[in-house]
Structure 1
Amino acid sequence: MNLSEVNWDINSAGSWPTPIKIAAGLIVSLLVVAANVYYITIPQLDQLEVLEKEESTLKTSFETKQKKAINLQDYRDQLALIESSLGEMLKQMPTKAEVANLLVDISQTGLASGLEFKLFQPSAEIRKEFYSELPINIQVVGKYEELGLFVSGLASLPRIVTVHNVNIAPPKGDKTSASDKSGILTMSAVIKTYNEGDQENVPKKKETGKPRKKGGK
């Protein structure tokens, strides 16, 4: 077969020799398949990969939410316990009107323990989310047992009082031998008490919703 004698006009394809027709058909088929893969199959594969990733994300999210749903009652019970504990702590915080009396109680506790106050300096109020801190810088002088009695007395107060930055040392200017014999020590610390802060930020208790009696006022 002489290829130079073949009329390559596409309109004369019907007169091409059979081998050329077969080759041309194969080439056209390959081009169609390649175009189908490039324009249809590959985008579909990319979309499938995206959907598979989304499916994995949705499964993880579903499993997480399912676990939360299963433990929902436990979470509610835990929340109720936390709210109850927070309510009890808030009850132990003095109101702003009670702060002055609490400061007196702290100083009286120190004096009753046999200590001498060298410094009793309330600092500015520090606001927190549900409460305010009221730090008091103190310096007291007394024996070790009296210092322990003082700290124990603070813990026994009806309102929350905490002790921070404690530093105990012999009094300055005293000879070591004299301080050892007398047992006198100086304690510097920051005592913190707390008040209930702004009422609008304090969690409100849920109303019990007791039914009213008919005909009652």
Structure 2
Amino acid sequence: MNLATEWRRLKDVEPGELDIKEAGGWPFLLQLICCLLMVGLTFAGLYWYLAAPKAQELEGARQEETRLLRDYRSKAAQAAHLPMLREQVETLDGRLDVLVGMLPSGPEIPSLIDDISESAIDSQLVIDAIRLRTPVEREFYVEHPFDIQVRGDYHRIGSFLAAVADLPRIVTQHDFTLEPTEGGRLELSMLARTYSYRPPEAASDEEEAP
């Protein structure tokens, strides 16, 4: 086979005159090029059909490995801090128990009102009124507001307010008004609030009740 001759034959080929049925008579170089193209297309098709899905699976596995490694590191860090978190939760639970213990239960509200009245009497004040308002239900507690009106001199009113703040049950004081009255005395009017704990399960039961 003369390579120069085959090259001339290839150059003389007119693409429009080629007939696939006469491929056996084509120049050798043209047949070789066609064979190489067929082999290349075959390998490309095999890669697309066989190797490409595997490559995608491999890439997906790598991404999954990265995600799992990231999750593992995150959970390992959480596990390392778990004893400290448990200790903090126990501390918070203890504080919550103390605070809940300072809240009167519903039946203890009248007794608390009596304690406030006794504080006013001990401070030598005249009690004009101590009236409970309608309780207000919140998500985790019930608010019990009540009005207080007492009369006396400035220092005894201050002593009374300090005694109320020092009660073993939580009582918050709001909306103070202090006005002079006859005899040089002052009249104190204020809104006070105490609170009773409302367990989450009790709130849920009330919401589910028809």
What TM-score range do you get, normalising by the shorter chain?
0.5 to 0.7
If asked which structure has higher relative contact order (CA below 8 Å, sep 6+), I would say: 1
Contact residue 7 and residue 16 of structure 1 kept, 8 A: no
2:112 is aligned with 1:102: yes
Name the counterpart of 2:176: 167
- Superposed, 1:1-217 pairs within 5 Å as 1=9, 2-4=12-14, 8-10=18-20, 12-29=22-39, 31-32=41-42, 35=45, 54-163=64-173, 165-171=174-180, 182=184, 184=186, 186-188=188-190, 190-197=191-198
> Aligned in 2, Cα 1:106/1:199: closer, same or farther, shift over 3 Å?
farther
Query: Residues of 2 paired with 1:75 and 1:96: CA distance?
Result: 34
Q: Secondary structure at the match of 1:98?
A: helix
TM-score, scaled relative to structure 1:
0.65
Distance in structure 2 (CA, Å) of the matches to 1:25 and 1:57: 46
Deviation sequence 1:102-144 (CA, Å, 0-9, x none): 1111122233334444543312223345543212133444444
> Bigger radius of gyration, 1 or 2?
2
The alignment yields a C-alpha RMSD, in angstroms, of 3.9
8 Å CA contact retained: 2:178, 2:186: no
Structure 1: unaligned runs, 5 residues or longer: 202-217
Q: Which runs of 5+ in 2 are unaligned?
A: 1-8, 203-210
Segment of structure 1 superposing worse, 191-200 or 14-23: 191-200
CA distance in 2, matches of 1:106, 1:16: 116
Identical-residue share of aligned pairs (%): 28
Q: What is the one-letter code of the residue matched to 1:184?
A: L
**When the two structures are superposed, what TM-score results if normalisation uses the length of structure 2?**
0.67
Relative to its length, the structure with more helix (as a share) is 2
Q: Count matched residues.
A: 193
Structure-2 change in CA distance of 1:27 and 1:193 (3 Å): same
Q: Distance in 2 between matches of 1:111 and 1:196?
A: 29
